[in-house]
């Protein structure tokens, strides 16, 4: 196991309690009201589909899929996050199978052509070797399988990122720099909404680099999505106003094989 994976496991175990509370308490409103529902919508009809959820954490997105009728397998490298996922599965069984597994080890643990859909809810950028994982994901997908991933938007998740504010403290404009400074980075989880701060490793890629990774792994990009909150959601959670003005998240809809023009981009095919 390389140092990135080892560091990531330690980091996510350290932050597990704070992250679980962040999501389950409703404080992670970007996930619960914006990019999470958007990713679920891109997955489309999943009833009866065999789904592999990469970097499932404590099972937030795996449970969304299972409640929609999917046959879900979730994997994660954090012992502490998976312990919570297993606890929730025991308390409210949805038929989800969880594996304590580094996503870079997919090739040695999962059979080829065994899944209809591979998902990753804000996890692909946190994986130590995205290129290797994408190739493995392509292998475990069936002939007309799909993969859908959400990531921080490369155009606004830059090394320098600061909201310029007026005299009243209102956000006026987002100042950005360093878009092309891609590579390994550290995410410092320091929001006031967290129980405690921690840090995790991740990769920052440009759009060109992401598209090259997908192509090299044998995927075709079916669609890109930049979710933003609706007026109804904004009324419920006004703090989301910033991501109604600028794209904070990017969703990729990928196909293992070229898709036919006119085919619904939200249909899961077996």
pLDDT in tens, 132-190: 999 999 999 999 999 999 999 999 999 999 999 999 999 999 999 999 999 999 999 99
How confident is the model at residue 165, as a pLDDT? 95
Q: Is residue 108 one of the residues assigned to a domain? A: yes
Q: Is residue 262 one of the residues assigned to a domain? A: no
How confident is the model at residue 4, as a pLDDT? 62
Q: Is residue 266 one of the residues assigned to a domain? A: no
HSE-CB at 7 with a 13 A cutoff on CA atoms is 15
Q: Is residue 260 one of the residues assigned to a domain? A: no
In contact, 171 and 242? CB cutoff 8 Å: yes
Tally of domains within the chain: 1
Q: Is residue 17 one of the residues assigned to a domain? A: yes
Q: Is residue 264 one of the residues assigned to a domain? A: no
Q: What's the predicted TM-score (pTM) here?
A: 0.92
H-assigned helices in the chain: 3-24, 29-30, 36-43, 60-67, 79-91, 106-109, 130-140, 207-217, 231-236
The distance in angstroms from the start CA to the end CA of the chain is 33
Residue 66: CATH number of its domain: 3.40.50.150
Sign of the CA dihedral running 266, 267, 268, 270 = negative
- Dist. CA 230–CA 174, nearest whole Å: 20
Q: Is residue 132 one of the residues assigned to a domain? A: yes
SS3 239: helix
**Across 54-68, 76-90, 101-115, 229-243, least confident range:** 101-115
- Is the model's pLDDT at 252 over the cut of 80? yes
Residue span of the structural domain in which 26 resides: 3-157+169-255
Q: Is residue 80 one of the residues assigned to a domain? A: yes
In contact, 22 and 193? CB cutoff 8 Å: yes
Furthest CA-CA distance within the chain: 58
């Amino acid at each position: 196991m390389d140092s990135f994976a080892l560091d990531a496991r330690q980091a996510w175990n350290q932050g597990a309690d704070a992250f679980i509370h962040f999501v389950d308490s409703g404080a992670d409103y970007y996930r619960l009201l914006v990019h999470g529902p958007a990713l679920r919508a891109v997955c489309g009809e999943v009833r009866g589909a065999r789904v592999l959820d990469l970097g499932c954490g404590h099972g937030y997105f795996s449970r969304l899929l299972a409640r929609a009728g999917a046959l879900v397998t979730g994997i994660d490298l954090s012992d502490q996050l998976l312990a919570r996922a297993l606890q929730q599965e025991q308390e409210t069984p949805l038929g989800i199978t969880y594996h304590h597994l580094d996503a870079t080890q997919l090739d040695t643990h999962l059979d080829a052509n065994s899944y209809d859909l591979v998902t990753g809810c804000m996890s692909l950028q946190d994986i130590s070797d995205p290129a290797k994982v994408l190739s493995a994901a392509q292998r475990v997908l069936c002939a007309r399988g799909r993969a859908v991933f959400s990531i921080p938007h490369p155009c606004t998740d830059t090394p320098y990122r600061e909201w310029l504010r007026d005299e009243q403290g209102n956000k006026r404009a987002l100042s950005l720099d360093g878009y092309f400074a891609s590579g390994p980075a550290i995410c410092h989880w320091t929001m006031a909404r967290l129980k405690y701060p921690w840090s995790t490793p991740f990769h920052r890629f440009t759009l060109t680099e992401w598209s090259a990774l997908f192509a090299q792994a044998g995927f075709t990009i079916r669609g890109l999505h930049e979710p933003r909150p609706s007026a109804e959601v904004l009324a419920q959670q006004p703090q989301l106003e910033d991501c109604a003005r600028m794209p904070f998240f990017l969703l990729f809809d990928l196909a293992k094989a070229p898709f036919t023009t006119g085919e619904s981009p939200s249909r899961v095919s077996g």
